[in-house]
Chain A
Amino acid sequence: MMGNPYVTQADSQVGEFRRAAFFGGVYSNHLALAAALKLARSLRVDAVFALGDFGAFGPHPDRSVEILRGNGIISIQGNYEEALSQAAGDCRCGYVDPRDNHYARLSFDYTAMKTAAGHKAWMGTLPRNLRMTLGGQRVLCCHGSPRRINEFLWASSTSDAFLRKLLDDYQADLLLCTHTGLHWSRFLPAEGNGGRSARGIINVGALGRPANNGRTEVWFAVVERASGETKVEFVPVAYDHAKLASEMADEGLPPEFRATILTGWWTTCLEILPAKERAAGKF
């Protein structure tokens, strides 16, 4: 690894696993987080990881952080944890359209106000990237991308060529990320034999809000390496979404956010979506 500028000592190493669960953005959805944790444990995973953005969007941000910290969930920073721990003025989500930034501002101001100082300090101690091996494969976990915490890796805008370069630069076989809120995976075509290689990407989705598909469940990923093959399972999590929406109303969060929780369709922060992902939604 010597001399490779993309591989740094700052990447945390956490050892070897065979089968693990990966949670994407929690966005303060403590009810979904608790349900997902229970479900993941029932799926006999070796470990549970959380890939950042614990706050935003939902109510009572400390409740989600307390579940993460109290249950040994191995966590890395998202842009929210970076911003909150550094007392930044905004969420650094990476939106460019004023309509997206309007709602991002509402989320961040609420979350910053409601997150305990001790939790913000803890967020500052978390690594940005995490390396492990999964059945011998080199896995790199990050929030957005390994090079930028708020980079959006969408299925329809991430070319194979770009993915291959990321994996080469960062010396990984498997890249795990979140940040977009939509789960997807892709394995690179194997060179020469027409099949698929073992190298690829898994965007683990988000527990914080549904996947813009008209369903109220949220999603996480279970990844297993067995018999020389990487298996990816996206797991839907049903939870008491009506209760969450009620809590959001009590906290004065925007009705647009509650509508997303209740309908499964995104209503805000839509302008960042690429054409294909935008067309798949209702708004």
Chain B
Amino acid sequence: MQIKNREDLKKYRESAIAGKTASDKNIKLLVGLGTCGTAAGADMVWAKLENKIKSDKISGVELVKVGCVGYCYAEPTVEVVYPDGESVLLGNIKEDNALDVIELHVKKKTNNASNIIKTNIASNIFKNGGKK
């Protein structure tokens, strides 16, 4: 779609946000597929997850390809974002433990698995102006 004026953009943004709201109802698996993640084997993890979701017909799960998340020491990484907005970041997800993501974090909501990375990113800076 070509945006020819401000009204077009407004409409497009509304539909994009609606699309996001709809997809936020799924459990999202954000796979870090930058050069760094890919080098560590993230594309194989992606394939494994994709096949599993298809073969087991798991609904309400969405795979999302994202760029570098910044946790190079624990690549490949998969972040699981739940419909309620909560999320866990999982590190060192290789081909052999990729399916744990589905078993432990999609079918269940495990909060104490060994590959959970503690993140320390301020999440609400766009609201409070980032004041320390």
Do A and B form a real pair? no
